[in-house]
Amino acid sequence: MREASPPLGSLRDRVHLQRREMTVAPDGGHETLFMPITSVWARVRARSARFAREGDGRAATSTHAVTMRFRKDLKPGDRILYRGRALEIVEAEDINGRRAYLACLCIETAMVG
C-alpha cells in the first residue's frame, strides 16, 4: 500500500480514532468495546467496493485509504469513525519511513440482505 506523502493542505477530513478493547462478559465469553482516543485531520479516499456472502446474508464491503499524521498507537482492529461510518483498520504503515505520515487501509462492511 505504498504511496507518496500527501500534498500540503490535503488532510481535510475530520475523523475520530477508537481503540478496540476486549472485556469479559458477565455471562461468560468476551465483548468488544471501542474506546475513543482522539480526533485528527486526515484524508479519506474510497478504493473499492463489492458484494459478498457473510453468514446468512449478503454484505457490501468497501475499502478506504486513510492518510493522517504519524501515530504509533494505531493497529489492526482499531477503528476510524468518518461521517458516521465505522472503518476498521486492516493495515497501518509509515508512508516513507520518516514517521511523518501514516497510511491506513480500512474496510467497511454493511449487511444488505
Domain assignment present for residue 39? The answer is yes
Domain assignment present for residue 33? The answer is yes
Give the structural domain span for 40: 13-111
CATH of the domain at 75: 2.40.10.270
For the chain, list the strands marked E by DSSP.
13-24, 30-54, 57-69, 79-82, 85-94, 101-111
Q: What is the C-alpha to C-alpha distance for residues 30 and 61, in angstroms, rounded to an integer? A: 25
- Residues 6 or more apart from 103 whose CB is under 8 A from it? 1, 3, 65, 66, 67, 92, 93, 94, 95
Joined grid coordinates for residue 22: 476486549
Domain assignment present for residue 3? The answer is no
- Residues 6 or more apart from 27 whose CB is under 8 A from it? none
Q: In tens digits, what is the pLDDT along the chain, a chain of 113 residues?
A: 556 788 878 999 999 999 999 999 888 889 999 999 999 999 999 999 888 776 677 888 899 999 999 999 999 999 999 999 999 999 999 998 899 999 999 999 887 76
Total domains present in the chain: 1
| Stated pTM of the model | 0.85
